[in-house]
């Protein structure tokens, strides 16, 4: 007689809450208020609150509609894209090129996950060190890879700036040789606060001294400052020292507006070309087991833009337009708050860089803003500056002002 259990084998699973970013979207969708605003999503929008399709990308779409887009790619991805992505990130590699392994991935998330699984198996680090705070998915990814997640200080909430000395102190005293330290190449998510070039040099010094493995997440190159080389400065500095092996997760979701195409790459710099050849085999095994091979369309779009000199220059103009509008919105929000005499200091809104701003708003203030003004912000107080525009920035500033006066810091 067959024994049929009355309960599911999964009955005792713990409840996993919805990711806070997606939970916020659900609340926003359900709100019918005509002046509702969402400042949670990391998606660039134009001044009409619409997702902006880069003119360069639209032009390329018309040129790449052929049957080849349905073919399987190699496990490592589309070779022209992988090569061009590596060039944009590192600049000329010269003799180091044979020591760099690059694979196309499912955007930056896929690059982070592939790198984490590979390093967990090969380096077996005692921990990965994430900034406090960091992109919420970093801890999820490294936890799934089986690596202990530890934190180094980053955000000084009192002064609303980088807590650099405590960051260095923690890495110097608590990190163990072989540990991975995850670094945001530019436009730190969620704070919008980056180290200076002198500070980056000190971070590299600590990695050398302690034998730490640097893992960069580069999701905003060119999108942060509008300058590809400036936004890649930290990565290229670590590369130029020629003393460290490292990995870089690279995404083209933001800087090319290819959010749904999931275009990214993982790059691994090894000490020798022999080590790189071996590492490529292991990375390919992980890639094969996870996705077999990456998708074609987005990679072809990106490769076409990066390889064509005229399109590349048009893309740089697109980057300038996006980064410039975000800076304008930072200034507009700051100026509105200052004009109203909103309690607190707001200079950090314009000193931060990139898509996000850690406003310093408390959870109580955020809840008040959402309930009374229908402006949706993460509980951490992080806003996506790209969600601001000339039509809603005053409303957002008034919402912040009211909440701060009702619930003082």
Question: What positions carry a catalytic annotation?
Answer: 135, 217, 254
- For the beta carbon of residue 393, count every other beta carbon within 10 angstroms: 21
* Pair of tokens at residue 329: 């919105």
Determine the Cα–Cα distance for residues 21 and 70; give it in Å rounded to an integer: 33
Q: Within a 13 Å sphere around the CA of 261, how many CA atoms are in the beta-carbon half? A: 23
Nearest to 133 by CA among 409, 360, 377, 404: 360
* Pair of tokens at residue 35: 């002046």
Instruction: Write the burial class of residue 294 (CB in 10 Å: 0-12 exposed, 13-18 middle, 19+ buried).
Output: buried
Q: Kindly give, in sequence order, each residue whose CB lies less than 8 Å from that of residue 380, ignoring residues fewer than 6 positions away.
A: 133, 190, 358
DSSP structure class, residue 387: G
- Report CA 304 to chain centroid distance, whole Å: 23
Peptide bond before 133: cis, by omega within 30 degrees of 0?
yes
CB 45 within 8 A of CB 386: yes
Helix (H, G, I), strand (E, B) or coil at 336: helix
- Look up tokens 């980064």; give the residue: 323
Helix axes of 233-241 and 79-90: crossing angle, nearest 10 degrees: 90
Helix axes of 233-241 and 197-210: crossing angle, nearest 10 degrees: 40
Instruction: Write the burial class of residue 95 (CB in 10 Å: 0-12 exposed, 13-18 middle, 19+ buried).
Output: exposed
């Amino acid at each position: 007689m067959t024994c049929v259990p009355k309960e599911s084998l999964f009955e005792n699973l713990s409840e996993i809450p919805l990711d806070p970013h997606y939970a916020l979207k659900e609340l926003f969708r359900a709100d019918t208020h005509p002046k509702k605003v969402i400042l949670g999503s990391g998606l660039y929008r134009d001044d009409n609150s619409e997702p902006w399709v880069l003119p360069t990308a639209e032009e390329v779409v018309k040129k790449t509609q052929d049957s080849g887009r349905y073919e399987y790619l190699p496990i490592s991805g589309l070779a022209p894209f992988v090569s061009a992505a590596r060039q944009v990130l590192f600049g000329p590699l010269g003799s180091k090129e044979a020591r760099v392994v690059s694979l196309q991935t499912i955007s930056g998330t896929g690059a982070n996950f592939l790198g984490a699984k590979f390093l967990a198996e090969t380096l077996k680090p005692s921990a990965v060190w994430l900034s406090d705070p960091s992109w919420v998915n970093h801890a999820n990814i490294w936890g799934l890879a089986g690596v202990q997640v530890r934190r180094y200080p980053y955000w000084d909430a009192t002064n609303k700036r980088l807590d650099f000395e405590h960051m260095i102190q923690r890495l110097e005293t608590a990190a163990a040789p072989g540990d991975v330290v995850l670094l945001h190449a530019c436009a730190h998510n969620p704070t919008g606060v980056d180290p200076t070039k002198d500070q980056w040099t000190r971070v590299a010094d600590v990695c050398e001294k302690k034998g730490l493995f640097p893992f960069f997440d580069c999701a905003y190159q060119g999108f942060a400052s509008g300058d590809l080389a400036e936004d890649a400065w930290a990565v290229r500095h670590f590369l130029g020292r020629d003393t460290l092996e490292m990995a870089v997760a690279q995404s083209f979701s933001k800087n090319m507006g290819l959010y749904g195409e999931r275009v990214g790459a993982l790059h691994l710099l090894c000490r020798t070309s022999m080590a790189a050849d071996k590492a490529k085999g292991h990375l390919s095994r992980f890639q094969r087991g996870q996705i077999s091979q990456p998708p074609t369309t987005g990679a072809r779009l990106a490769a076409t833009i990066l390889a064509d000199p005229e399109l590349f220059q048009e893309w740089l103009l697109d980057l300038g337009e996006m980064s410039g509008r975000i800076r304008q919105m930072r200034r507009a929000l700051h100026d509105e708050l200052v004009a109203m005499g909103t309690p607190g200091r707001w200079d950090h809104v314009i000193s931060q860089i990139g898509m996000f701003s850690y406003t310093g708003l408390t959870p109580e203030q955020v809840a008040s803003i959402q309930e009374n003004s229908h402006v949706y912000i993460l509980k951490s107080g992080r806003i996506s500056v790209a969600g601001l525009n000339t039509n809603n920035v005053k409303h957002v500033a008034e919402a912040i002002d009211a909440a701060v006066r009702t619930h003082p810091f």
